[in-house]
Amino acid sequence: MGIDIREATGADVGALSATGRRLFIQAYGNISGAEDLASHVEEYFGESAVAAEFAKPDVQYLLAMDKHEIAGFMKIRQSAIPDCVPASKAIEVQQLYVCARHQRKGIGRLLTDRAVPIAQQGGFEGLWLSVWQDADWAVEFYRAYGYQVMGTTDFRLGQSRYTDFLMWLPLDPVS
Ligand SMILES: CC(C)(COP(=O)(O)OP(=O)(O)OC[C@H]1O[C@@H](n2cnc3c(N)ncnc32)[C@H](O)[C@@H]1OP(=O)(O)O)[C@@H](O)C(=O)NCCC(=O)NCCS
């Protein structure tokens, strides 16, 4: 497949911002109004937002590179753990996006495979995430990887509210 998974560096921030904007709109552009979409994309994928997140010590971006192009990326971070997640120390997968033309080639799985040992080596008990409950493609991906639905939470996109599943992937500790 020729995909290289690596951690992002500061030099990737601009490309990550542009790719994040493009892939979010590609995936969710048809479910929300233009105004909601524009404000959400700016808040989460604007270049200054990505730069600020990148600078945090408890945030990591993993990139799936197809030569010099970002084919997919994952953002993991330490954050407040929802009550329904049975862990005191866990990593949140806050963003996972694979470009449409690269989907179903195992890139989402490869990015998750890279996050798993990062979490295990940091002494984290597992990975958790929230995903729109109607995003069947993503929910199926996470289930196929081994995540379980533990509960639900509200998600705001601009003025609109959606229901997300909270999903959890317990990991074996490394010895
Ligand atoms: C969800 C997403 C990251 C999956 O990435 P991917 O690289 O396409 O997934 P993979 O090729 O690694 O798939 C691994 C397995 O997950 C399951 N899966 C993946 N996509 C699926 C789909 N659309 N429908 C059903 N099952 C799917 C399959 O079991 C698949 O194995 P298989 O292809 O051997 O059957 C990708 O579809 C995506 O970026 N979607 C748009 C953005 C998004 O919704 N992100 C999640 C936000 S929380």
Per-residue pLDDT tens for 46-66? 999 999 999 999 999 999 999
Q: Are 94 and 78 in contact (CB under 8 A)?
A: no
Q: Which residues line ligand 1 (CB under 6 A)?
A: 27, 96-98, 103-109, 131, 135, 137-138, 140-141, 144
For residue 81, the 8-state DSSP code is: P
Ligand 1 pocket, mutate which of 1, 137, 155 (most atoms under 8 A from CB): 137
Distance 73 CA to ligand 1 centre (A): 13
Q: In what order do the strands lie in the sheet with 160-170?
A: 3-7, 59-66, 69-77, 91-98, 126-132, 160-170, 148-157
| Mean pLDDT (whole number) for 107-133 | 98
Report pLDDT for 144.
Answer: 98
List, in order, residues 6 or more apart from 124 with CB less than 8 Å away. Answer: 87, 89, 90, 91, 171
Distance 114 CA to ligand 1 centre (A): 16
Domains defined along the chain, listed by start: 3-170 (3.40.630.30)
Reported pTM = 0.97
Report pLDDT for 80.
Answer: 98
Q: Phi and psi at residue 143, in whole multiples of 5°?
A: -60, -45
Cα atoms found within 13 Å of the Cα of residue 142, Cβ hemisphere only? 25
Per-residue pLDDT tens for 117-129? 999 999 999 999 9
Distance 175 CA to ligand 1 centre (A): 31
**126-132 vs 69-77, strand pairing mode:** unpaired
Among the atoms of ligand 1, which is closest to the Cα of residue 109?
12
